Amino acid sequence: MRSTRRAKVRCSPSRWQAPLRFVRESDLDVGMLAGRWTLLDRTGEPLLAECERRGVSVLAAAPFNSGLLSRSARAGDTHFNYEAPDPRLPPESSPTWPATTAPSCRTSPSPSPCSTRRRGDRHRSVPAGAREVRGAVAVHPRRRGRVAGGSEDRRRSAVSTVSSITVSDIRFPTSRELDGSDAMNPDPDYSAAYVRLACDDDTEGDGFVFTIGRGNEVVVTALQAVESLLVGRPVGTPHDLAETARALLHDSQLRWLGPEKGVMHMAIGAVLNALWDRQSRAAGVPLWEYLAFLSPEELVDQVDFRYLSDALDREQALDILRAAEPTRRERAEHLRSAGYPAYTTSPGWLGYSDEKMVRLAREAVADGYTQIKLKVGADAEDDARRMKLAREAVGPNIRIAIDANQRWDVEDAVGAVHLLAPWDPYWIEEPTSPDDVLAHAAIRRRVAPVKVATGEHAQNRVVFKQLLQAKAIDVLQLDAARVAGVNENIAILLLAHRFGVPVCPHAGGVGLCELVQHLSMFDYVSVSRSMDDRVVEFVDHLHQHFVEPAVVRDGRYVTPTAPGFSARMHDASRERFAYPGGAAWA
């Protein structure tokens, strides 16, 4: 029979994600949460929940009781003392160790005597001989001795400032096979205006704007225009990211180019996404998880409520997030085991032959998808023929969505949907101009029960607010790279929940599947609390170019576990598909 394994776990307002990861991967019997913020800022809640789920007895969860572990230990117990670097101290002031080796553990067959140290006006009991590092995270490493959660660099997020940005023009020649083709965009070359941020603590973050070829160089220039406002800014905490978003979005000269829409807005969104990628990488957790376990106050601080208060104010947003807070851990665990529902557009590109469309539709059903999507809008007779073939291929129980990509006026849209009604379309996506809220509302009234979906080209949170207020949509399709990044998408998710409209993100583009999966998973855990009638688009193109590609299995996204926003491309892909000098364009 082994001895009891105990550990002291210290958490602070922005540094609890790594201890949570350690507890999941460790083999403890008894744990203690310590640190002055454990109760004051609710940061101990996820750790307490994980301990309860794994049957780890919690000795205490109160500030200033760091000696309780030693005082309550019994003979034969095994103790572990491990201290990570203090994120608020310069590197030379913090203990360090090689990233590939375990920190030293002290084990003893009996309790250690306690000593008392003064910090400010308070006395705390600590195990004798243990070094106290202010703000440190004390954890028990995995039994195999590896440092769960990663290296020292992941922990010093609180002192990070941006030191440089690198921007690339990356284009993939998808028009050669007509991948991505639709009625409005017959020959797209899926492209990314790609940005990598470097910080002074050697952390990095990646983001991009999705385009379809020509004009990608315009977005590259817009990204470069942001550099002078970004370099030197602190970006190590959620508060820093909120302040950075406001500084970029409210810069009067750049704002004039929108305001808050168009190329400049998308470029700022890519930068903010890169910062969130860096933040969650530094914390050692995937972005969905990082966001899901921020406090409601930290999340709401990311939202710009200007122009929203007639539909959603700060207190209403806090109410939504607080309602989800007590049961976040159960949903997160379900997400890790079950994944998130997906649908596929891969069979439905307009340039594909009937034979290819039918074959891919049947394969999608065999792969576990319960919904596919077809592009429509070029020719009514072709649309009817393809819709009939698709329905015959997949049977009556598979949903078929249709997407016109803004092709029609109101009367054309209504007539086209009625023409296709015999084959039971589930929704009509982007039937008309993405800016025409009233036209969407009119179409929705006249094509019911077919649902109306839109959002991939909605320029900002204000357009989404109006679509919801006007009851113009049944399905909200946010895009990770169209608006001002994670910050604005938090606002959009809160708006959707406020109005009771499900979110089914757009992901038809290079890297978009990788990004939007995190947003939907965060929505499930911390906002909507539901997967009902919610699916994330999956397009089976170009994932091999990403370090952590999106994976769909049995018709469901596999929940990401790697730290970050899944945004990083392989360096070899960035080099090969760089435009115009890359080998792919030679």
What is the spatial distance between Cα 237 and Cα 514, in angstroms, rounded to a whole number? 23
| Residue 403 near residue 182 (C-beta atoms within 8 A) | yes
What is the spatial distance between Cα 461 and Cα 490, in angstroms, rounded to a whole number? 10
Q: Both tokens of residue 83? A: 């201290």
What is the spatial distance between Cα 308 and Cα 113, in angstroms, rounded to a whole number? 57
What is the maximum alpha-carbon separation in the chain? 84
Q: In 338-385, where do the E strands start and end?
A: 340-344, 371-375
What is the spatial distance between Cα 361 and Cα 343, in angstroms, rounded to a whole number? 11
Q: Both tokens of residue 75? A: 């003979």
Identify which of 136, 518, 490 has the alpha carbon closest to the alpha carbon of residue 298.
490
Q: What is the DSSP string of 130-197?
A: PPP-TT--B-PPPTT---TT--GGGT--TT-BEEEEEEEEEE--GGGTTTT--SS-SS---EEEEEEE
Helix (H, G, I), strand (E, B) or coil at 476: strand
> Catalytic residue at 506?
yes
- Going from the C-alpha of 293 to that of each of 43, 283, 442, 527, the distances in angstroms are 9, 12, 40, 11
| Residue 529 near residue 502 (C-beta atoms within 8 A) | no
Locus of tokens 């952390």:
203
Identify which of 161, 166, 188 has the alpha carbon closest to the alpha carbon of residue 177.
188
Helix (H, G, I), strand (E, B) or coil at 6: strand
| Residue 300 near residue 314 (C-beta atoms within 8 A) | yes
What is the spatial distance between Cα 518 and Cα 559, in angstroms, rounded to a whole number? 8
Indicate the residue type of 268.
I
What is the spatial distance between Cα 247 and Cα 241, in angstroms, rounded to a whole number? 10
Which member of 8, 261, 451, 506 is catalytic?
A: 506
Identify which of 215, 216, 165 has the alpha carbon closest to the alpha carbon of residue 192.
216
Q: What is the DSSP string of 490-557?
A: HHHHHHHHHHT--B-----STTHHHHHHHHHHHHHHHTS---TT--EEE--SSGGGBSS---EETTEE
Q: What are phi and psi of 393, to 5 degrees?
A: -75, -40
Between vectors from CA 485 to CA 235 and to CA 536, what angle results, nearest 5°? 130
Which member of 375, 465, 543, 545 is catalytic?
A: 375
Active-site residues, by number, are 375, 506
